[in-house]
Amino acid sequence: MTFLNDNTNIDEFFLFSDFLEKLKFGQYNDPFDVLKEFSNAISKKFRNSELPPNFTVRQYSSDAAIQEHRIRESPRYRENWIVILWLQHFLVYSSEPSDIIGTKWLYTKNTLTQTQRLGFPNSIITDFDIDAPSRQKKNIENKDKMYDEQVFRYIFELMQAGKYKEACNFCDLTGNISLSLAIAGIYEYFDSFIEGSNLQGGSANGILNKALWRRMCWQLTQDNTLSSYERGIYGILSSDIPSVLSLSHTWETQLLLYLSSLVTSEAEQSLFEKNRIEKDVALIKVPQSDFTSSAEILNLLSNSPNSQIKKESQHSCRRFISAIINNELDFIVDYTAKKIEYLLQGDDNEMEEEGQDLENSIRFAIHVMLFLQQIGQTIGEEQNRDIIIQTYIEILRTSNHSNLIPLYVSYLSNETALTAYSIVLADIEDPNERRMHIALAKKYGLDIENTIRRAVSDIFDLYDDKDIHTSTFEFSSEVSESDKRICKAVEWYMDNGMWSDCIHTSVLLYRMLLNKGKIQTVREFSRLIPIEKILKSYKTHRLRISIEEDFELSVITEGLEVELREYQRLLNCLELIEIWNLNYASTLNTKNQSQPHIPSELWKRDAITLCTKVSDSIQNLCATWLFEITESEKVDNTTKQLIFRLRTRYIPFLLIELLRTFIEAQLADPSFLKEAASLATFVASEDLKLYDLFVQSGRLSLFLETIADACADGVVHGERGIFE
């Protein structure tokens, strides 16, 4: 069957998901409307499908009407019919032979004509009716034998696939007229006029005495002078097992054979019960099915003496087919979940299939399971259902079909959905893909807010430098991949308008990064998540919700807002220092970096302005930065200790950077050296208590040495230096 061997492609993913989405949103008036096309296809296969929904079998009713009544009264009988039609639909058969000869036994006829003209004796047939070889006990030419074998094989395969009209047409095309007539007997006699299904003018077709016709076909299967495929054709017509079994080399074709035999026996039994088979016909015995149910047939195949058939019966898809036929649907879920567990445990001894086959099995199982769930029938254990759905979600993720994932997440329980979907979201960094998932999650009614929170939390948990209480500290200008990932995680909150979460998480991330000295990462994060934007968006969102909805938004405390703005002040200072560094670097001699160029007057004017900005920003920041938070009674001691640690690390750092800036700015104006020296007084101020921060940071010596260097440079400049 083709679906067991097809490679996975994008159409298969969308074929299933599109159907499931339509079913989920009620685009079918009735759950079973989805089977309409399949039902139509099945009804066309029945010769008596023109009968009204309710009809009565009468004495004059045709045999076809009697059998149709049996089908409608017996669900098991009808199910077997449907399985046969389904198997035939998927059966693969050969292409039509390319060299078609329209004359039967052409080579034999030519040989006979030549030998008779020359007067030579011959051992070939002299009559050309279909029975001539067995009647005259003579042969046909080998070329005709070979061609007949090719023709009969193709006809046999067409008939196995239920292509009876095509088989008749091919018989006519190749001169096998008698065989064409025999195949046409497959259709039961049906008269739509007498059955009352077409009162405007009926038509009758089919064979009147099909029981006799079947026995004729069966007797031909016993004729060993016929080739194997010719006997196989008559075997299909008469539901003979031995003549067809030898030509049926797959699980599907053998299942089809045994089911056909069972259905034929049941059909004939219904005619016996209505005394529709004449006694003289009944005296010609034909084999009846040894089975009473499809379950017995499936059991035979799973224990077949043919090792290939037995192996095929163990394939997951064929096990699923058996479970559906036997109405053991729980097996599909529980068996698939067990296979997945074996795979996760690496138990190769329990794995009968790998890779694509297992993926196909999972795809089959999940869509049978979800279809039934959608129409109100739950199969398998809940734990096993969740295992299958989560595994399929992983298949979609790794095959770049993440846009289909939200649909399948919607079938998971709330907590399981949070866990499964958060894992998916945690790996998404592309802005467009993030927004797509947010839209789809809302479409399918998922708890996207809590899922995003879980995803961001998972990313933070995996972050290498998340410990904010560590004593290890070193300034770094590098931005690792882990740094980038954790910064981008906060974008989920922005994209979904979760401004409270965005602010809370941003504060936490600033604390983490600054505590590790990751200055460049902090700057990158501030560009990604602008502080002013999220504060303004939070206030706007809060105002709108308070007016439009009866909903309480998570409130951001004044302390958090103050802390976030303090980090913005720090960022402004870092940005000015970076600008100064670039400006000063432009004056350096490219051949000797220790000797600067003589700067231009324009550069000096710009440098004076820039240095003044740097000075004002840093001194204003250091005088008050985060001080209010350390003194607040509303802040817990752990946070106070963290904030004090940040003050201890960054205020000395900034003041030393300012010192360096002053010393470099002497190129523009030597009086900046006096500004450098005056920083000693600024740090020693009892009101600001900055001296203690230098002591705590261990940078006091460096600070004093740098001031000493500034003073030494100032002495050199004389009145333009530190002296006026």
Least reliable range by pLDDT among 24-33, 123-132, 138-147, 681-690: 24-33
pLDDT digits (tens, 9 = 90+) for 253-285: 999 999 999 998 888 887 787 777 788 888 888
Confidence of residue 696 (pLDDT cuts 50, 70, 90): very high
Share of the chain above pLDDT 90, in %: 53
Average pLDDT over residues 665-676: 92
Cα separation, 106 vs 140, in Å, equals: 10
pLDDT at position 23 over 70: no
CA nearest neighbour of 174 among 144, 207, 211: 144
pLDDT at position 5 over 60: no
**pTM of the entire structure?**
0.75
Angle between helices 330-345 and 355-374 (to 10 degrees): 140
Classified as helix, coil or strand, 7 is coil
Compute the mean pLDDT over every residue in the chain, rounded to the nearest whole number: 84
Confidence of residue 54 (pLDDT cuts 50, 70, 90): low
pLDDT at position 7 over 50: no
Tell which wins on pLDDT, 361 or 334.
334
User: Quick one: which H or E segment has residue 190?
Assistant: strand 190-191
**Residue 38 Cα to chain centre, angstroms:** 25
Classified as helix, coil or strand, 289 is coil
pLDDT digits (tens, 9 = 90+) for 498-554: 999 999 999 999 999 999 999 999 999 999 999 999 999 999 888 887 665 544 456
190-191 and 204-205 strand pairing: antiparallel
Counting every residue written for the chain, the total comes to: 724
Q: Which residues have CB under 8 Å from 341's CB, separation 6+?
A: 387
Cα separation, 105 vs 140, in Å, equals: 7
Cα separation, 210 vs 38, in Å, equals: 28
Classified as helix, coil or strand, 479 is coil
Tell which wins on pLDDT, 455 or 116.
455
Cα separation, 166 vs 396, in Å, equals: 41
pLDDT at position 6 over 50: no
Domain chopping of the chain, boundaries: 1-45+331-402, 580-720
pLDDT of residue 14: 65
Least reliable range by pLDDT among 85-94, 116-125, 177-186, 579-588: 116-125
pLDDT at position 723 over 80: no
DSSP letter string over 201-264? ---EESBS-HHHHHHHHHHHHT-TTS-HHHHHHHHHHHT-HHHHHTT--SHHHHHHHHHHHHHH
Q: Which two tokens stand for residue 156?
A: 């046999």
pLDDT of residue 295: 93
pLDDT digits (tens, 9 = 90+) for 412-448: 999 999 999 999 999 999 999 999 999 999 999 999 9
CA angle 246, 252, 253 (to 5 degrees): 30
Q: Please, are residues 171 and 183 in contact by the beta-carbon 8 Å criterion?
A: yes
Phi, psi of 418 (to 5 degrees): -60, -45
Confidence of residue 310 (pLDDT cuts 50, 70, 90): very high
pLDDT of residue 76: 82
